[in-house]
Structure 1
């Protein structure tokens, strides 16, 4: 085949795209631009936001949300959702609290039991979704209600209260706090907690898995074209069960970070946060239909959430405006991501 000039058509695989085109093809491009714009806005309109003390608050807020957002992003790229992710953070913290405060179990053993339970629940979610063919939305919604009931009714039955307090009295608490709740860095009067390091580490590992490993290819394939993926030998069942376990494991990690930061955990800890995780993942470039997204983008989505939440406080606005912003952010991200993908696809031609 030749063109009207007699020249063979150029192979688009050999055509060089501009730096701008390559950048906009990245799923996280919109979130990065939005994060820079939001930082600039609040830095210019408030006195505290860009200081060390101010940054420590919105980075701390972003870190725990970001860990979960990254895990949820992996699951969404794999084509599934987990609505039990928020309740899992409270459940894992309560398990550690009950086992140590009520039954005297060693704190490290209690942490291990909590992790094992989280991974088991994640595996059950994945197995139910894959074996029954039910939407993950329904399966994990059921798990959410089970966990919420256990957190509230189970805790009241065991302790007569709706919260676990006094964790500082548990032997070896300080050792666990050093790993999950310490503040190793101080900048300009602001203490940066270890949760920030966990967040960065989780994002780096998730990005490496997605872009540099066979498992990453399986995740994209399982979410983008599940039937075709099976036909070419992708272990879809194993991949998706592992993704649900990853989300549950991230819920455990965030549960530990909250527990050892505050030395207490409420029965309603994490309830309602699951939608924020999904919003952050979508803002970061994940498609609701699966097969496309970025762990880095989800981390930036969480950063946007943290900056806006604290920026509203520093600006003296009504805190309830946060929810309006989240709705606008979700709709805007979906529209922007679709437009950018279409524009980048057109730029290839």
Structure 2
């Protein structure tokens, strides 16, 4: 296979860089012997912007943006969105890395995007919302409100899905969602303690409020999930806790002291709980993701740390679906098999 990419869009996608296109013509030329397309030779025009995008959008879509002339197709998980001539196209952070292949469809430029997890729904709705000017601020707020809720696809045949917003730092709210599960499904099979925050900073920055917030969410949140679910699992004689830690639970680096400490704690809590409840047919799995597609870096207030995490460390990330598959694998094992720990990361690590 040979490949030559002269388009700065593709180079930026591959390198995880922010790009603003202001010139007129770019050429995409890729040669491959492994696809039916063969040689793809596509021209498209990028209109020099007369003015920048609305200021309020920068906080939500600051990875890459440009204006296209003609018809622009975005294919996400089999669904094609079409941008009209002259529209702003925004790519939310965490998606640009997934743009890989360029081809043509009916003579039009086609970019295949393969994001996963919650970003899929957010991208689909946001891209539809941003097809034309001006952007309705209330509509954007509705997208962001929905983004805070985990969206799921159609349930399995005969199944049903219920969601409920909660704050894991409040024990009563965690107990409420456990009771909701019981009332809807009659039993409690699995509790996934997934909520976490990661406002990294050097200790000398003394961001004490952020330290306490990490402790509240990352440690107390897990303990609240256990406190709410354990009595029910004990009574019914089965169940499983899946606690989400991090590769930071195995080593600490500059700026990760408090975050790593909270994830070490989750690891210790999981190990102790496993030894306590194994004889009661209750399983405990620790899942430790590496650099994963998420919004964790957006909450880093230390500018130097955020710049490094966003522009260097997060260039090699794995999709959220990889973590979902790991969780599903642990849950799918026979009742007498407990997957103790799963550590998942990109094949090519940045040290």
Range class of TM-score, shorter chain: under 0.3
Comparing both structures, which one devotes a greater share of its residues to strand? Answer: 2
Higher relative contact order, chain-length normalized (CA < 8 Å, sep 6+): 1
TM-score normalised per structure 1: 0.25
Question: Which of the two has greater helix per residue?
Answer: 1
